[in-house]
Chains A and B, each alone.
Chain A
Amino acid sequence: MKLSVYIEDVGQLSTALGSRCDGIRFGSEFCEWKLPSLEALERVFRATVECGKSFTYVTPRLSEAKLREVELHLAKLNQWLDSRNKVRVVANDLGIVALLRSNTFPNLCVQWGRQLTSIPDRARPSFGAMLSREGKLASVVGRKVFESTDLNYLPTRRLLHGLNVTGIDIDWVPTCFPALKSAISQGLELAVHTHLVLVTLTRKCHTARFLGEQTPDGCTRPCYNRVFCLQQPALGRLYLMGNVVMDKIEPSPQDFRILRKIGATELVVFANSPVVHGNDLDNLLDSYGKWMVPRGLSGLSFRLVSGVKRLFARTLS
């Protein structure tokens, strides 16, 4: 599994480049008013590639006007690449998926964003309490339903293949990891965002309104360095990060074992999150790295093979 760091702001670039991550994701996943400039996109892209790391461009849900802006970004990105070095674009809007499926941008491929995938177990409070009131049988069947995602539906997966989607993003909902095996077995690569579960997002940015920002275009982006913790008896503890509310779930080694078992290919750390704010990024990536390696003899051979692969890759580059 490769480790990627997601940054929204060019100011976070040097930290990300200096870390032990294998890839950098850049862009705005949730807010169309935080789309990077073309200059910022080029700067991050070139710096990432020069550092030998993979680059992924992240896009949010988009209005008509902002879609036109992203279309320009995609055109430029496509120009900077060649067929040997494709770049993934995380698409959280069906409009971007539609744009990328045509041959207009042959050097870009689609990563199905997590806003396009429905996961009932993101619900807060959990659906479990509701299901138990329907009766035992309904509760058992319901649990099976709600521990899955809408990628556990064959026609949807076929549609994704038809759209040349090469991978999917998911958040940290360990109850649904086993169910994702069927999605991966159809050839989709799985990228998992660690620690955080997307509970809700808004266009009427709760952070901006709380801090008195007047307009989206003039927003000073306080979310780049401010996160709020929210607590409420029925909903528990949540985190307000810009225009998105997340829950935080501590990963366990077992979660990583399941991800290894099902064949997940990427872990994504959001650099501007409660997870990283209190931790050194490299310490966090190191702990993930340890959990990604199997224990015992199989682990020893895994480490040996991984080490040889890394040496081979360095020699080639």
Chain B
Amino acid sequence: MVKIIAPIHSVEGAEQVVAAGADEIYCGVRLPGMKYVTLTGRPAFCNLPSYEDLAQVVHLAHERQVQVALTVNLPFMTQLLEPLVRSYLEKCMSTGVDSLIVGNLGILLFIHQMGLGVPIYASSFLTVRNHQAADFLHELGVTRIVAPQDITLNELRDLVEHTSLEVEAFAHGEGCSNVGGNCYLIHTHRPQDEASVLDSAKVSSIVRDGVDGDDDSFIHIRPRNSCLFCFDVYKDDATCEHLGQLPILDAYTFCSLCRLPEIISTGVKGLKLVGRGFPIPFQAETTRVYRRCRDLVIQGDLEAFHREVSALRVRSPALADLCSRKRCYFESPFAIQEQ
């Protein structure tokens, strides 16, 4: 059975996504005393505020047989960070989390050495696209691969076929324009500046045209992602011709709902929803929708499934707009061509 894996950043969010039908939830925890630095690959506001909150989340999740994966997927490790990582892991493990999501070889080796005795999942930051890489990580204790967001359907099928490890795939939410493990374009980390970033001349049309505003429960696009910014583009030659102010790095994807039957047929073990820092209604509604659609596909009721998707497009103009712009996971890499 393919699991629905939902993101949270609060106890309230956990209650809602569990009630909505999540089979697994994933989250990180803020580091005490740190406003901006985390070990979870996301800004502080995308994480549970405290270890006590994590304990509550684990308790309520386990009551409903839902597993909790802890993110420790900072894609970087150095000797100076070791005490911080150790402290974080010890405190989180004491709450009873079920698994760890890791995004760096150094942290993976450290966890392996600590002998924590829980499953370890390879984050998309490790960019595993082939079975050789998967098997290599398996030797270091990894039991599940989170496929990178830019994987195509055929590549996903190929990977699942050739590796013995479980594979989970991203299905909905912010799909990076770039390779997550190699992207150093920082998302600005001042939410209060969103208004200034939304200057109509400065961001991609998927933000500028109000897609972000209509229906927060299923589509939510933050303007803080650098890849959505408009750049002044020049030819790098003797002419230095200015070609315009363009969102040239915008290859944002967001949804894969209508391809659910094909995705499930690849044999993936989990459908991962993006959005640890997103509003709780988004986390809950996307979980509910994907759970319902997954159930319909597994039951073989494709007619009901397609009706559900069509109804959703009517309810959510923002979704319909993204569909028309081909902002889909698993599409051909050059599918997004609006410039």
Interface residues of A, Cβ cutoff 8 Å to B: 61-65, 67, 93-99, 115, 118, 120, 122-125, 127, 130-131, 133-134, 138, 141-142, 144-145, 148-150, 152-156, 159, 198-206, 208-210, 212-216, 219, 226-232, 234-235, 238-240, 245, 274, 277
Which residues of B sit under 8 angstroms from A229, Cβ to Cβ? Answer: 233-236, 240
- Min Cβ gap A117→B in Å is 10
Q: Quick one: given A144-B80, A214-B334, are A150 and B178 in contact (CB under 8 Å)?
A: no
Report whether B333 and A203 are in contact in the complex, using a CB–CB cutoff of 8 Å. Answer: yes
Q: Quick one: given A152-B78, A209-B339, are A200 and B185 in contact (CB under 8 Å)?
A: yes
What's the Cα separation between A205 and B227 when bound, in Å?
13
Q: Quick one: given A216-B334, A228-B236, are A65 and B137 in contact (CB under 8 Å)?
A: no
Which residues of B sit under 8 angstroms from A227, Cβ to Cβ? Answer: 236-237
Which residues of B sit under 8 angstroms from A210, Cβ to Cβ? Answer: 246, 248, 339
What's the Cα separation between A158 and B105 when bound, in Å?
11
Q: Could you give 13 example pairs across A and B, Cβ below 8 Å?
A: A94-B126, A134-B36, A150-B76, A150-B78, A155-B113, A156-B77, A156-B105, A202-B179, A205-B333, A210-B339, A228-B234, A230-B231, A240-B248
Report whether B229 and A64 are in contact in the complex, using a CB–CB cutoff of 8 Å. Answer: no
- Min Cβ gap B47→A in Å is 16
- Min Cβ gap B112→A in Å is 9
Report whether A213 and B234 are in contact in the complex, using a CB–CB cutoff of 8 Å. Answer: no
- Min Cβ gap B178→A in Å is 4
What's the Cα separation between A138 and B80 when bound, in Å?
12
One of B10-18, B63-71, B155-163, B264-272 contacting the partner: B155-163
Which residues of B sit under 8 angstroms from A228, Cβ to Cβ? Answer: 233-236, 243, 248
- Min Cβ gap A204→B in Å is 4
Report whether A123 and B234 are in contact in the complex, using a CB–CB cutoff of 8 Å. Answer: no
Which residues of A sit under 8 angstroms from B246, Cβ to Cβ? Answer: 210
Report whether A124 and B186 are in contact in the complex, using a CB–CB cutoff of 8 Å. Answer: yes
Report whether B334 and A199 are in contact in the complex, using a CB–CB cutoff of 8 Å. Answer: no
* Residue of A95, A153, A159, A227 contacting most chain B CB atoms (<10 Å): A153
Report whether B79 and A154 are in contact in the complex, using a CB–CB cutoff of 8 Å. Answer: yes
Which residues of A sit under 8 angstroms from B234, Cβ to Cβ? Answer: 228-231
7 closest A-B pairs by CB: A95-B132, A204-B251, A94-B133, A64-B158, A98-B136, A95-B133, A230-B231
Contact of B77 among A122, A150, A200, A274 (CB under 8 A): A150
Report whether B104 and A99 are in contact in the complex, using a CB–CB cutoff of 8 Å. Answer: no
Report whether B248 and A134 are in contact in the complex, using a CB–CB cutoff of 8 Å. Answer: no
- Min Cβ gap B88→A in Å is 15
Q: Quick one: given A63-B158, A277-B237, are A150 and B106 in contact (CB under 8 Å)?
A: yes
Contact of B129 among A64, A125, A148 (CB under 8 A): A64
Interface residues of B, Cβ cutoff 8 Å to A: 34-37, 75-82, 104-106, 109-110, 113, 126-133, 135-137, 150-151, 155, 158-159, 162, 177-179, 181-186, 188-189, 226-227, 229-237, 240, 243, 246, 248-249, 251, 332-337, 339
Which residues of A sit under 8 angstroms from B339, Cβ to Cβ? Answer: 209-210
- Min Cβ gap B20→A in Å is 31
Report whether B158 and A124 are in contact in the complex, using a CB–CB cutoff of 8 Å. Answer: no
Report whether A122 and B179 are in contact in the complex, using a CB–CB cutoff of 8 Å. Answer: no
What's the Cα separation between A94 and B162 when bound, in Å?
15
Report whether B80 and A232 are in contact in the complex, using a CB–CB cutoff of 8 Å. Answer: no
Interface of chain A, helix or strand or loop or mixed? mixed
- Min Cβ gap B189→A in Å is 6
What's the Cα separation between A14 and B235 when bound, in Å?
26
Report whether A123 and B36 are in contact in the complex, using a CB–CB cutoff of 8 Å. Answer: no
What's the Cα separation between A240 and B339 when bound, in Å?
15
Q: B232: nearest residue on chain A (CB-CB)?
A: A231
Which residues of B sit under 8 angstroms from A134, Cβ to Cβ? Answer: 34-37
Q: A212: nearest residue on chain B (CB-CB)?
A: B337
Which residues of B sit under 8 angstroms from A152, Cβ to Cβ? Answer: 78-79
Which residues of A sit under 8 angstroms from B240, Cβ to Cβ? Answer: 229
Which residues of A sit under 8 angstroms from B137, Cβ to Cβ? Answer: 94
Contact of A150 among B105, B158, B182, B231 (CB under 8 A): B105
Which residues of A sit under 8 angstroms from B34, Cβ to Cβ? Answer: 134, 138
Contact of A63 among B35, B130, B249 (CB under 8 A): B130
Q: A238: nearest residue on chain B (CB-CB)?
A: B231
What's the Cα separation between A137 and B155 when bound, in Å?
46
Q: B243: nearest residue on chain A (CB-CB)?
A: A228
Report whether A150 and B233 are in contact in the complex, using a CB–CB cutoff of 8 Å. Answer: no
What's the Cα separation between A235 and B184 when bound, in Å?
11
Which residues of A sit under 8 angstroms from B337, Cβ to Cβ? Answer: 209, 212
- Min Cβ gap B141→A in Å is 13
Which residues of A sit under 8 angstroms from B128, Cβ to Cβ? Answer: 94
What's the Cα separation between A234 and B185 when bound, in Å?
10
Which residues of B sit under 8 angstroms from A120, Cβ to Cβ? Answer: 76
What's the Cα separation between A69 and B302 when bound, in Å?
37
Sample of 20 more A-B contacts, CB < 8 Å, known A130-B189, A150-B76, A212-B337? A95-B136, A98-B132, A115-B182, A134-B34, A134-B35, A134-B37, A138-B34, A142-B37, A145-B78, A150-B104, A154-B79, A159-B109, A201-B182, A202-B150, A202-B178, A202-B179, A229-B233, A229-B234, A230-B249, A245-B249
Which residues of A sit under 8 angstroms from B232, Cβ to Cβ? Answer: 230-232
Contact of B81 among A145, A159, A226, A277 (CB under 8 A): A145
Report whether A98 and B78 are in contact in the complex, using a CB–CB cutoff of 8 Å. Answer: no
Q: Quick one: given A63-B158, A64-B162, are A204 and B177 in contact (CB under 8 Å)?
A: yes
Which residues of B sit under 8 angstroms from A202, Cβ to Cβ? Answer: 150, 177-179, 249, 251
* Residue of A144, A201, A226 contacting most chain B CB atoms (<10 Å): A201
Q: B154: nearest residue on chain A (CB-CB)?
A: A65
